[in-house]
């Protein structure tokens, strides 16, 4: 009889605390899942308003936006390749990261030739130097 009582007492003291810790563990609130924004990885190039780099109307973008002839860079406009145009609309704001002095927020107002994929063109002034950068991150800017 004493052996049974001892075994029961041992079982009670061993399994009840173990069961409680299992229940407490299971009832802990789970961490909320945070939505991560996945950027588009693109190649960045620059272009200026000249017929050689655009079309016969260099001061009008593909969206119909009219550019300032003396300082087109102040508009902070980018042209996107047609594969990106399916994801982004004209007038959409995007944030560029990893591009040094070209980092920042731009507005999509122009479209590139269909031969380009995963590529953006930043509008600069004719006197600025042209550049090409790879593996640039482009994020959609949500309206608040």
Task: Render pLDDT for 67-107 as a digit per residue (tens, 0 to 9).
Answer: 888 888 999 999 999 999 999 999 999 999 999 999 999 99
Supply the pLDDT for residue 144.
63
Does the structure show a pLDDT above 90 at 15? no
Supply the pLDDT for residue 8.
54
Q: Please work out, in degrees rounded to the nearest 5, the angle formed at the alpha carbon of residue 100 by the alpha carbons of 98 and 105.
A: 75
Does the structure show a pLDDT above 50 at 33? no
- In the chain, DSSP assigns E strands to 40-47, 77-80, 93-97, 104-111, 119-123, 132-140
- CATH top-level class of 40-140: mainly beta
Sign of CA dihedral 49, 53, 54, 55: positive
Predicted model pTM: 0.70
Domain ranges for the chain, please list them: 40-140
Supply the pLDDT for residue 4.
61
């Amino acid at each position: 009889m004493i052996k049974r009582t001892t075994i029961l007492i041992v079982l009670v003291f061993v399994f009840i605390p173990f069961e409680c810790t299992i229940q407490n563990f299971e009832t802990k609130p789970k961490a909320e899942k945070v939505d991560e924004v996945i950027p588009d990885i693109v190649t960045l190039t620059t272009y200026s308003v000249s017929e050689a780099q655009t079309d016969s109307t260099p001061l009008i973008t593909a969206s119909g936006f009219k550019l300032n002839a003396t300082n087109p860079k102040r508009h902070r406009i980018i042209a996107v390749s047609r594969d990106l145009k399916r994801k982004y609309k004209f007038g959409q704001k995007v944030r560029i990261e990893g591009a040094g002095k070209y980092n920042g927020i731009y507005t999509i107002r122009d479209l590139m030739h269909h031969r380009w994929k995963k590529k953006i063109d930043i509008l600069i002034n004719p006197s600025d130097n042209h550049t090409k950068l790879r593996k640039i991150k482009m994020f959609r800017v949500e309206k608040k």
